[in-house]
Structure 1
Amino acid sequence: MIPFLDLKAQYSQIKPEIDAAVARVIASGHFVLGPEGTAFEERFADYCQTAHCRAVNTGTSALHLALLAAGVGPGDEVITVSLTFVATTAAILYSGAKPVFIDVDPLTWTMDPGLIEAAITPRTKAILPVHLHGLMADMDPIMAIARRHGLVVIEDAAQAHGAEHRRRRAGSIGDLGCFSFYPGKNLGAFGEGGAVVTHRPEFAHRVSLLRDWGQEAKYDHAIPGYNYRMDEIQSAILNVKLDYIERWTEARRSAAERYDALLSDLSFARPQPPRHARHVYHVYAVRLKGRDHALSALRDAGISAGIHYPVPVHLQRAYAELGYRAGDLPVTEMLANDFLSLPIYPELLPEQAVEVVATLRNAAAPRLSEAVAARVEHPQSVMTWSHNRRAS
């Protein structure tokens, strides 16, 4: 059996430290907004190369509060992508704004900056790029467009702890960055958790108020707020894990390099990060025609695999009222049909990666050959832009 993710193996490595941290919080009797949370916020802000961090209870809450702190509200529009978990869209709707979807780049699978300006209207307030699978979106042109039009940029970095774009960390380039610490994330809690990072003190202060019922002090409610606080046990656990995040990240990257080598004859079937990017491989996805057959074969062989994500948000029934239809985002839809996520985690053994790829080849060799030849139908100007960017 090869699991998709092995959290038990991770825990076994650091069990004494985790157990001691949890016991310390229990003995303290201080369970919310205490010293563990303050320490984690300071350390995670430093890790993300930002001035401020505010810990919250989920990644969804982080997105919601970042939008509100930036002044996004009813009547506004937020440009984002549909190739993401639904939380990205849900948070925009929670703020009262409308998500406006644009397509992704066919090589990096993240927001295509060449499509942003055509989506801007007088109601546009923010751009919300998603760093998918651990690879950051191309932030330089995104920021240039945002500054030109006076827009706020909020990074959805829920899958990108420690990822880099030209040596700048995820969350540090936009006006705000949002993280999830769901247990399966590269930096995961033992339950739910999230954080907002920013360089701007006014945004950090507003998130502080919003996460704690809008309180300036106890029972002094300056603004309407929410109960979005992170508890001290999760903060203590994350403080322990933060000591290991770089080691685990490099182990993930080594596992990804091993997959790359084993799949090296399958051109364009694998992630294509630009040379200036540090991909942290929260997910290692390949593109594969006949994906569902291969997924079944892997599972039959005792190998856990997944799809991130099989139905893009704009085609989810829950968001039909947004008015999108099949064909509106062709690259996104093609990738959703082809994606297959292979097991990846720091403890993945070399022989396990070999077994995964051997099973994949046996199940889908003809279809993999088709995937190599597959080409995306995409406007020529955007394809030219994409390839020029890859060379930079």
Structure 2
Amino acid sequence: MIPFNKPYLTGKETTYIEEAVKTGKISGNGVFTQKCHQFFTDRYGFKKCLLTTSCTDALEMAALLLDIRPGDEVIMPSYTFVSTANAFVLRGATIRFADSESSNPCISVDSIRSLITPKTKAIVVVHYAGVACDMGQIMSLANEHDIYVVEDAAQAIDSKYKNEYLGGIGHLAAFSFHETKNIISGEGGMLVVNDKQFEARAEIIWEKGTNRSAFFRGEVDKYGWVDVGSSFLPSEITAAFLFAQLECLDEIQERRLAIWNRYRDELSFLENHGISLPHIPEYATNNGHMFYIVTNNPEERDSLIDHIRSRGAHPVFHYISLHKSPFFSGKYKDGELPNCDRYSDNLVRLPFYCELGEDQEVVISAIKSFYS
């Protein structure tokens, strides 16, 4: 069976892990953590980066930094992974779910606009498939109403909105290095702090609520508990693995984009069957994170998935809209979200990983035979 995902190894991961072990410091915020931080600030111009054990942790740090409390409202897309919502639910926020765009699963600006109230504290955008939300309009809305913006950039490494890298536009951003992402460390993530007012506190929250980092820089003569926090930083072993991946980012991206472009070229005929292929708006770039198709109805989607699996490959459907989830459906009181429902019911993700190679033809041939 051709898997949906397969982690790609550059060959230097274990070498760097061994180097990290030999330094005698493997608990976190050591040499390889700093190398990773430096990579992101140099390449993307991010102001402050903090590696975390997951993107979920980075989002939870964002919720703490924004001082989210019961009564605060947070707007986010319903078509997203549960971590986007959980981070703010844990702080007592009221979640207001927005619809997706009709052309792609990113959050709809019009839907955001309709949900803003005096209680709105933050807007969380999700750059689905590494494709930018309309950040120009979203930041204008946020500035007009004095609302913070958090970018869930879990899938969006190396992507841009116009000439700005995703993750560097909102007040805060969260990245993922889960094994299904372009750049991986098994589990792993990163918080990006773009608003200077949050920089010092972010570091304290990251270090379990202590000013430990300031102590080791010689800025204070002793460190102690000064704020809330948790153990958000990953070990040096995780950071060493990640740095090996970052060194090969351009090579990985080149491979992934070649796979994405082949899917797009070979499957363009599907548009004659009423099926939607990924849409890249003119303001966005494509980072080759995933390739999906949107079928005409749930029955067609399920039959297609079964057919591809019968030919030896493993496609998957994606998120169930959170406003219809078992946890939230009884709490949801806003209107219908038809675009979210459409993606939940009809979207199929195709196998996608760096070493897919000639096996990609198996997937393409299966889809062609299904629609012939």
- Which letter maps to 2:173? G
- Corresponding residue for residue 314 of structure 2: 304
1:90-135 alpha-carbon deviations (Å, 9 max, x no partner): 1111222121111010112201112222101111011101011121
Alpha-carbon distance in 2 for matches of 1:277, 1:25? 37
1:1-392 aligned within 5 A = 1-7=1-7, 10-11=8-9, 14-15=10-11, 17-31=12-26, 32-189=28-185, 191-217=186-212, 220-267=224-271, 269-289=276-296, 290-309=300-319, 311-324=320-333, 328-349=336-357, 351-365=358-372
Alignment gaps of 5+ in structure 1: 366-392
TM-fit CA distance, 1:59: 0.5
Q: Which digits, 9 at most, give the CA deviation of each residue in 1:272-323, with x for residues without a partner?
A: 11133112132211011311111111112110111122x1111110223432
Output the amino acid matched with 1:121: T
Offset, 1:364? 4.2
Provide the C-alpha distance between the structure 2 equivalents of 1:260 and 1:210, rounded to a whole number of angstroms: 43
Shift of 1:140: 0.6
Distance 1:180 1:167 in 2: 22
Query: Which residue pairs with 1:385 in the alignment?
Result: none
Letter of the 2:306 partner, please give it. Answer: S
The CA RMSD measured in Å over matched residues stands at 1.7
Matching residue's letter, 1:319: F
| Pair 298,175 (structure 1): closer, same or farther in 2 beyond 3 Å | same
In structure 2, relative to structure 1, the CA distance for the partners of 1:87 and 1:261 (3 Å cut) is same
Structure richer in helix, relative to its length:
1
- The Cα shift of 1:219 comes to 5.3
Tell me if the contact between 2:128 and 2:155 (Cα under 8 Å) persists in the aligned partners.
yes
Shift of 1:260: 1.0
Deviation at 1:200, TM superposition (A): 2.5
> Which TM-score applies when normalising by structure 2?
0.91
Instruction: Kindly indicate whether the alpha-carbon contact (under 8 Å) linking 1:62 and 1:178 is maintained by their aligned counterparts in 2.
Output: yes
Equivalent position SS for 2:328: helix
One-letter amino acid of the counterpart of residue 283, structure 1: M
Q: Is the 8 A contact 2:68 2:93 kept in 1?
A: yes
CA distance in 1, matches of 2:71, 2:199: 24
Q: Secondary structure at the match of 2:211?
A: strand
Hey, what's the Cα distance between the residues in 2 that align with 1:324 and 1:183? 35
Structure 2 unaligned runs (5+)?
213-221
Query: In the alignment, is the contact (CA less than 8 A) between 1:143 and 1:153 conserved in 2?
Result: yes
Q: Contact 2:107–2:133 at 8 Å: present in 1 too?
A: yes
- The residue that corresponds to 2:219 in the other structure is none
Distance 2:127 2:45 in 1: 17
* Aligned AA (1:152): Y
Tell me the CA shift for residue 71 of structure 1.
Answer: 2.7
Distance 1:34 1:207 in 2: 18
Tell me if the contact between 1:42 and 1:52 (Cα under 8 Å) persists in the aligned partners: no
Where 1:220 maps in the other structure, the secondary structure is coil
Cα separation, 1, equivalents of 2:346 and 2:241: 36
Give the Cα–Cα distance (whole angstroms) in 2 for the partners of residues 256 and 115 of structure 1.
Answer: 30
SS at match of 2:252: helix
For residue 84 of structure 1, what is the amino acid of its counterpart?
A: T
What number of residue pairs does the alignment pair up?
A: 356
1:310-367, Cα deviation, whole Å (9 max, x unpaired): x111111022343258x72111001111100011122222x333321210122245xx
Distance 2:318 2:159 in 1: 18
Amino acid at match of 1:67: A
TM-score using structure 1 length: 0.87
Shift in Å at residue 70 of structure 1? 2.3
Partner Cα distance (1:216, 1:321) in 2 = 42
**Does structure 1 conserve the Cα–Cα contact (< 8 Å) formed by 2:149 and 2:170?**
yes
SS in 2 for 1:322: coil
- Once residues 182 and 48 of structure 1 are traced to their aligned partners in structure 2, the CA distance between those partners, rounded to angstroms, is 20
Q: Which amino acid counterpart does residue 2 of structure 2 have in structure 1? A: I
Equivalent-residue separation in structure 2 for 1:154 and 1:42 (angstroms): 22
Q: In 1, Cα distance between the equivalents of 2:4 and 2:135? A: 30
